[in-house]
């Protein structure tokens, strides 16, 4: 019992940190995947949705990234499309991630970060007609 009492205060913070890191990597992978799919759709000038291409890309995200409102992801993900160079299209996705929501009430600048995903592809049809640049 004494050993357990000495080890558990060290084990719980390590476990929480590993879980938070896993969630952050999962969001990073999702955002990168969404950016890649969006860049491919933009490169071939295809918008399978009825609204904007940015809205369609966002609709493919998980509920937490799509809507926000949770303690870890307070705001929805943002999807931006631009052309960094002639004949190229870039899709950037980002979301604000709160590492420790309980501590964010004390100092949100220390516990929040922005997770990004990005993909750039060569345009196959120029100029695009099924989407517009912007966020």
128: in domain: no
Total domains, the chain? 1
Domain that holds residue 10: 2-122
The mean pLDDT value of the chain amounts to 87
87: in domain: yes
**Residue 60: predicted pLDDT:** 92
- The answer to whether residue 102 scores a pLDDT higher than 90 is no
- The answer to whether residue 103 scores a pLDDT higher than 70 is no
130: in domain: no
For 130, residues 6+ apart whose C-beta sits below 8 A from its C-beta are: 45, 46, 47, 53
19: in domain: yes
58: in domain: yes
104 pLDDT band, cuts 50/70/90, is low
Q: How far apart are CA 121 and CA 67, in angstroms?
A: 27
Q: Which residue has the tokens 């558990």?
A: 8
132: in domain: no
107 pLDDT band, cuts 50/70/90, is low
94, 114 in Cβ contact below 8 A? yes
Structure tokens at 116: 């990004």
131: in domain: no
134: in domain: no
What is the mean pLDDT of the segment spanning 89-106? 82
């Amino acid at each position: 019992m004494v050993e357990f009492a000495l080890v558990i205060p060290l084990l719980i913070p390590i476990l929480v940190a590993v879980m938070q890191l896993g969630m952050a990597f999962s969001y990073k992978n999702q955002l990168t995947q969404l950016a890649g799919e969006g860049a491919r759709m933009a490169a071939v000038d295809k918008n399978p949705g009825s609204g904007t291409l940015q809205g369609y890309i966002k609709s493919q995200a998980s509920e937490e990234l799509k809507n926000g409102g949770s303690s870890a992801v307070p705001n929805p993900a943002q999807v931006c499309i631009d052309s960094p160079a002639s004949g190229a299209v870039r899709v950037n996705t980002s979301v604000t991630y709160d590492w420790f929501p309980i501590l964010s009430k004390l100092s949100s600048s220390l516990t929040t970060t922005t997770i990004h995903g990005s993909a750039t592809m060569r345009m196959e049809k120029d100029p695009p007609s099924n989407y517009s640049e912007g966020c």
